Amino acid sequence: MRAIRQVLLLLFLLFMLFPVHLSAQGGGPFNATTIGQERWVDSVFNKLRKKARIAQLFFIRAQTNKGKAYEDSIGSIIKKDKVGGLVFFQGGPARQAALTNRYQEIARVPLLIAMDAEWGLGMRLDSTISYPYQMTLGAIRDSNLIYQMGREIAKDFKQMGMHLNFAPVVDINNNPRNPVIGYRSFGDNKYNVSSKGLAYMKGMLDEGVLVSIKHFPGHGDTDVDSHKDLPTLAFTKERLDSVELYPFKELIKAGASGVMVAHMNIPALDATAHLPSTLSVPIVTGLLKNDLNFKGLVISDAMEMKGVVKYFPNGEADVKAVIAGNDIIELSENTHRAIKLVKKAVRKDEISWDRINESVRKILAAKYWAGLNHFKPADTAALIKNLHRSESLALNQRLTDASATVLKSDSLLKAFDLQSKTAIISLGMTEVSLFQKEMKRYVPNSTSFILSKIASSSDISAMLKELRKYNQIILAVHDYRTRPLSTLDYNTSLKVFIAELSRLNTITCVFANPYTIAGLPGIEASKSMLVYYQNSPEAQLSAVKVISGQMQANGRLPVTINSFFHYGDGIDYFPAPPVMTGQVE
């Protein structure tokens, strides 16, 4: 017994003297600490003057598509105000990596570099990979693919010298009219959103990149864009706790390193009139930090958005955001003014130095975890090649293939005749689509037709007459807008045309936000319907493989669309061997 006690005492002393080493799997810099981390944080913190401590809380916008004068102005702010980090937006990868190196050289404390890259670098940068939107990922049944995507995106971040991704979105999109979340969400089911968000988050963390789950406490059931105004979430505490908060609670328990707070007025949590959740002590400190026991970085949504500055202008919002408990104040309208106002609030005892110091230490701990204690410049040699790894490109296609959702299947899809006379129609396009070009390779006896979103009635009538000559029709509904909204901007004549074709011997393919199906009455009559969730090249190539019998499909709808199509709908589709009975004309 004495020997056992001695062993236990030795283990206790070792644990106290040598705290658990933090690995990437630990979920970030806040679940465990090392002596090295504590020493580095203390050494940097103790050298910071009071104004420089405040400045660590502020992250400013940077981008590489605005010219040298703009880039120099950001450099001046870094030198003068000594901000804690940057949030990069539009530009090019090579230019950004070089500019990041330049900015890090002039920073007194290494900068934490962030980006809002929900679907990878392609969300912001040219010449980079865009992975599927989260709505597309919500249709996938194998979450391991999403975990792998998280790792690939994290590798890209590290290639670029970045450390923090403002992702994943874990809002439950339970309002089809939501103008700002929509396709950015994994869907309308809290369990699906949580499992997919967890896979994405763990992939990034395991590869050594910080995350910020968003938009706390849930921006899914709104019909107002907080970029333009202040939404109100008029739900009870019970509803918020059981629905909106569910994914946040699950991912916080799993080690989320950051949480971004939304600009929403939520009377059930804070009855203060017109007060955004970002500025609410009961929501940020009371609910997030105390009730949910979140110890990581609390990050404000952009402080230039109308949802926060409409009622709290001229820097007042920045001060209130610090008081509320946010650690990182992202994109203030005027950072120099904000730092001065926060310092003034400290002098007036509206903010304590303990409140400031708590955030500074967390930010420095995040910088240590991200490797900024031994800063290395981003390697710009062969950068573009390194951002287009063969495994990344292959994974991108696998993700899209896994999302393929067959909602309806009849004998035409099951036994598609590769040599029968076939019409392939792409709607919403002004030129022959990739889908049509690739289908032509497998269906040589086919003709491609296109109709723009403003096609005239006479053009549609002429096409209907021509289609009588064909044995099979493939109808592709495209949304070629950059961001696939929940309604298609097709004219009425084109929507009627879709309904008419749906009653014929037609395979219907939807390359658009799934909610758009609700605005196409009659499309539900389609005997065969294949749904993708965006108009990406990968989606069009995947559809060709399904129709031509090369690939099975087992995706599931991540949202309820209408009374015909519900969350979880989808057929495990296994194509029959290709039929080749027709004669080439």
**Do the domain assignments include residue 467?**
yes
Q: Looking at the structure, tell me whether residues 224 and 358 fall in a common domain.
A: yes
Q: Looking at the structure, tell me whether residues 105 and 249 fall in a common domain.
A: yes
Cβ contacts of 118 within 8 Å, gap of 6 or more: 133, 134, 166, 167, 168, 169, 184
Q: Looking at the structure, tell me whether residues 372 and 455 fall in a common domain.
A: no
Q: How far is CA 567 from CA 22, 183, 196, 301, 573, in A?
A: 39, 15, 15, 30, 17
Q: Looking at the structure, tell me whether residues 372 and 428 fall in a common domain.
A: no
Q: Of 390, 419, 435, which residue sits at a domain end?
A: 390
* Intervals of the chain under pLDDT 50: 1-2, 4-26, 582-585
**Do the domain assignments include residue 569?**
no
Which tokens in the block code for residue 511? 């390359």
Decide if 161 contacts 113 (C-beta within 8 A).
yes
Give me the domain span that covers residue 490. 404-547
Beta bridge partners of 474: 424, 507
Q: Of 355, 390, 425, which residue sits at a domain end?
A: 390
**Which pLDDT belongs to residue 413?**
85
**Do the domain assignments include residue 29?**
no
Q: Looking at the structure, tell me whether residues 84 and 182 fall in a common domain.
A: yes
Q: Looking at the structure, tell me whether residues 519 and 486 fall in a common domain.
A: yes
**Do the domain assignments include residue 31?**
no
Q: How far apart are CA 185 and CA 188, in angstroms?
A: 8
**Which pLDDT belongs to residue 21?**
33
Q: How far apart are CA 475 and CA 427, in angstroms?
A: 8
CATH number at residue 524: 3.40.50.1700
CATH number at residue 135: 3.20.20.300
**Do the domain assignments include residue 553?**
no
Give the Cβ contact number of residue 61 at 10 Å.
Answer: 18
**Which pLDDT belongs to residue 17?**
35
Q: Looking at the structure, tell me whether residues 269 and 305 fall in a common domain.
A: yes
Q: Of 390, 418, 445, which residue sits at a domain end?
A: 390
Q: Looking at the structure, tell me whether residues 293 and 418 fall in a common domain.
A: no
Q: Looking at the structure, tell me whether residues 184 and 291 fall in a common domain.
A: yes
**Which pLDDT belongs to residue 25?**
36
Cis peptide leading into 566, omega within 30 of 0?
A: no
What is the number of structural domains in the chain? 2
**Which pLDDT belongs to residue 297?**
98
Which tokens in the block code for residue 393? 């490109």
Q: How far apart are CA 50 and CA 295, in angstroms?
A: 23
Q: Looking at the structure, tell me whether residues 365 and 490 fall in a common domain.
A: no
**Do the domain assignments include residue 490?**
yes
Decide if 536 contacts 556 (C-beta within 8 A).
no
pTM: 0.93
Q: Looking at the structure, tell me whether residues 426 and 381 fall in a common domain.
A: no
**Do the domain assignments include residue 564?**
no
The one-character DSSP state at 523 is G
**Do the domain assignments include residue 580?**
no
**Which pLDDT belongs to residue 27?**
55
Q: How far apart are CA 354 and CA 350, in angstroms?
A: 12
The one-character DSSP state at 132 is P
Q: Looking at the structure, tell me whether residues 307 and 429 fall in a common domain.
A: no
**Which pLDDT belongs to residue 8?**
41
Segment 177-201, tens digit of pLDDT: 999 999 999 999 999 999 999 999 9
